Amino acid sequence: MKRGGKESEVTKISSEEDTREKSKKQRTTSENSQTCDWGNLLQDIILQIFKYLPLLDRAHASQVCRNWNQVFHMPDLWRCFEFELNQPATSYLKATHPELIKQIIKKHSNHLQYVSFKVDSSKESAEAACDILSQLVNCSLKTLGLISTARPSFMDLPKVKIFAPNMEQMHVVNHLLGNPTEEKRNVLVESARIARGNIQDLADLKVSEFDAVIFPGGFGVAKNLCSWAVDGKDCTVNNIVKATLQAFHSAKKPIGLCCISPVLAAKVFPGCEVTVGHDKNVDGRFPDAETATAIQELGCKHICKNVGESHVDSTNKIVTTCAFMCKAPLHEIFDGIGTMVGEVLKLA
């Protein structure tokens, strides 16, 4: 009986201790749940978390509670944004992304300032980017970027080669501030960065190995390939660039030029026909219309064309398009360059 009584006392004491321990754990759990109320986090904290989330995850998180949904629509969250349009996400893109993109443009187009597109070489990716760009054309964007996740398809073609002159750049520009810097860079080296190393010195180009040549545009043409940026129609053309143009022309092989680069043909081939868009600033779309006048003063014929068009000088086998000489949406500029390339291939 005594032994049994002691066992009962021990059992009773142990039971009481277990009860106290459980109560203590419950109180601790309750206190922890009160300190981890995610729904009542400060919006500034939620905002910082949301900035690290992909678009779809942000959308899902915004459905957790009213507080999180309010953060999802805060202007600060949309000032810097990257649209991911690359493969293998095309099925995800078709299923969900278009609706989210519509909501973003509808509610946050005025907030977007720094926008980039992550694309590859697929048709779906390009079409999606062009569609978004056409909707953002009237937005006050400060920066627009393009991130490619694949090698450009033309670089894998064995018959396409990229060349650049081995020379020092006239200017190195800080594009964040829009000002030249004291830094010195080489045109061939910088071009190699863009071409991902698959490039050669223009001096080594052999016309006999190619059927045509295309000169992309850009301000570098006016500053490095010639001195048009400083001297206008009285400019000089880089000797190697001039020799290259003359060699293709003498071989009766087509030459394609876009943006500002048609001025190269105007300087090297007097009497040729080219276009840099319009000779008047139509609707504010052609702010550099005086370039057309300068071309005519050089004895060449300027043909007015819209941004989506190109002009073919059949006699000289020169194909030109205005590209960025026109203030137009990127997809229209893309179309114009496409017609120029197509006409060059027809002549080749």
C-alpha–C-alpha distance, residues 265 and 316, integer Å: 10
Within 10 Å of residue 68's Cβ, how many Cβ atoms?
Answer: 19
Which among 259, 272, 300, 326 is annotated as catalytic?
A: 259
Q: How far apart are alpha carbons 293 and 316 in whole angstroms? A: 21
| Whether 259 is catalytic | yes
The separation between CA 5 and the C-alpha centre of its own chain, rounded to angstroms, equals: 85
* E-state strands within the chain: 80-84, 114-119, 143-148, 163-164, 172-174, 179-181, 200-201, 213-215, 255-258, 273-274, 301-302, 311-313, 318-321
C-beta separation of 116 from 146 below 8 A: yes
Helices 97-108 & 123-136 angle (0-180, nearest 10)? 20
The residue assigned the tokens 């400019």 is 235
Would you say 200 and 210 are in contact if contact means Cβ atoms under 8 Å apart?
no
Pair 1, 8: CB distance under 8 Å: no
Alpha carbon distance 104, 271 (integer Å): 51
Is residue 280 within 8 A of residue 288, CB to CB? The reply is: no
What does the alpha-carbon distance between residue 46 and residue 331 come to, in Å, rounded to a whole number? 36
Q: Distance between CA 10 and CA 12 in Å, rounded? A: 5
Strand order in the sheet with 80-84: 80-84, 114-119, 143-148
Catalytic residues: 259
